[in-house]
Amino acid sequence: MALLPRHAWASPELRDKALNELTGGRPISDGRVTLTIPQVAENGLSVYTTVQVDSPMTPDDHVKKIHILAERNPIARLLTWHLGPRSGTAKVSTNIRLAATQQVTALAEMSDGSFWRDIKPVVVTIAACIDGG
């Protein structure tokens, strides 16, 4: 049975530091981004996550990047999607890993240099029968 070692994990502070690095210190507005994620995750090993951003996705006005950040995972930035006018819409999905109950952030970078976000809390339950198999 594989065990989790001890080592430093991310914290809300490290998540904020990552946000700062991604935005270059520019302000982040709430809105335009919708992060869809279960309120209670059946298993932290695979949590279905969808992000939609309200954007016309034209060459002049589109989403460039979407990042997913966690505040209680080993690392703060979990992934980055790169989109563009050829995307048609800004709608992406994947399954993420969540190490513990925490707030998950979806950060969108627009073509005009602005940043927008949505934050959702997720309760991560322990599986009832800890497997070992």
Partner 1 sequence: MALATARVSMPKEVGKGDIVEIKTLIRHRMETGYRVDSVGKKIARHIVKLLTVTYDGEEIFRMDFTQGVAANPFVAFTTVATQTGELVFVWVDDKGEEVRVVKELTVA
Partner 2 sequence: MSVAMKQTVSGRASHSALAAFFCVAAVVAAGPASAGGEPLPSGTSFLTQSLQAQQSDEATNPGMLWISEGALIWQTPDGASGASCATCHGDAGTSMKGVAASYPKVYGKTGELLNLEKRINLCRTSQQNAEPYAYESDPLLALTAFIARQSLGQPINVQIDDASRAFYERGKAMFYRRQGQLNLSCAQCHEALAGKQLRGDTISYGVGNGYPAYRLEWQTLGSLHRRLRSCSYGVRARRFEFGSPEYLSLELFLAVRAQGVPVETPAIRR
Nearest to 34 by CA among 118, 107, 129, 108: 118
Residues 58-87 that bind partner 2 (CB under 8 A): none
Binder of residue 31, out of partner 2, partner 1, none (CB less than 5 to 8 A by kind)? none
| 90 vs 12: CA distance, rounded Å | 27
- Shortest reach from residue 87's CB to partner 1, in Å: 6
| 9 vs 73: CA distance, rounded Å | 6
Binding piece for partner 1, criterion CB under 8 A, among 19-27, 32-40, 82-90, 105-113:
82-90
- Shortest reach from residue 72's CB to partner 2, in Å: 18
Nearest to 97 by CA among 22, 21, 45: 45
Nearest to 105 by CA among 132, 73, 57, 129: 73
Binder of residue 131, out of partner 2, partner 1, none (CB less than 5 to 8 A by kind)? partner 2
Closer of 38 and 88 to partner 1 (Cβ):
88
Task: Please tell me whether residue 62 adopts helix, strand or coil conformation.
Answer: coil
Residues 28-57 that bind partner 1 (CB under 8 A): 45-47, 50
Binding site for partner 2 (CB under 8 A): 38, 40, 42-43, 45-46, 48, 125-129, 131-133
